[in-house]
């Protein structure tokens, strides 16, 4: 595995680290970076029209709910 980050990734990490308080824990850094990356990817998916309808999402989620692995919000 390549141990160097592409320039864009390194800039992303550095920018976000600079915005965090000095006493932030490594765990908080990892969680924040992962969250921000997920948001960024979701926005890019939306801009590139890589989205599905609510109905399609429910069809994909329903088998998981019925299998007992997950519960629907109204079942909680």
pLDDT digits (tens, 9 = 90+) for 25-53: 999 999 999 999 999 999 999 999 999 99
Query: Would you say residue 8 lies in a domain?
Result: no
* Res 20: pLDDT: 95
Compute the distance between CA of residue 19 and CA of residue 55 in angstroms, rounded to an integer.
38
Does 40 fall in a domain?
yes
pLDDT interval class at 70 (50, 70, 90): low
* Percentage of the chain lying above the pLDDT 70 cut: 79
Q: How many Å apart are CA 30 and CA 36, to the nearest integer? A: 10
Residue 20 lies in a domain: no
Range of the domain at 64: 26-70
Judge whether 75 lies within some domain. no
Give the pLDDT score at 2: 57
Q: For the chain, how many structural domains are there in total?
A: 1
Cβ(29)–Cβ(20) below 8 Å = yes
């Amino acid at each position: 595995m390549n141990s160097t980050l592409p320039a864009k990734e390194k800039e992303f990490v550095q920018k976000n680290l600079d915005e965090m308080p000095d006493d932030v824990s490594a765990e908080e850094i990892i969680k924040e970076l992962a969250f921000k990356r997920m948001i960024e990817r979701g926005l890019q998916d939306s801009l590139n029209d890589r989205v599905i309808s609510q109905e399609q999402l429910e069809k994909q989620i329903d088998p998981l709910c019925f299998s007992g692995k997950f519960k629907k919000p109204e079942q909680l």
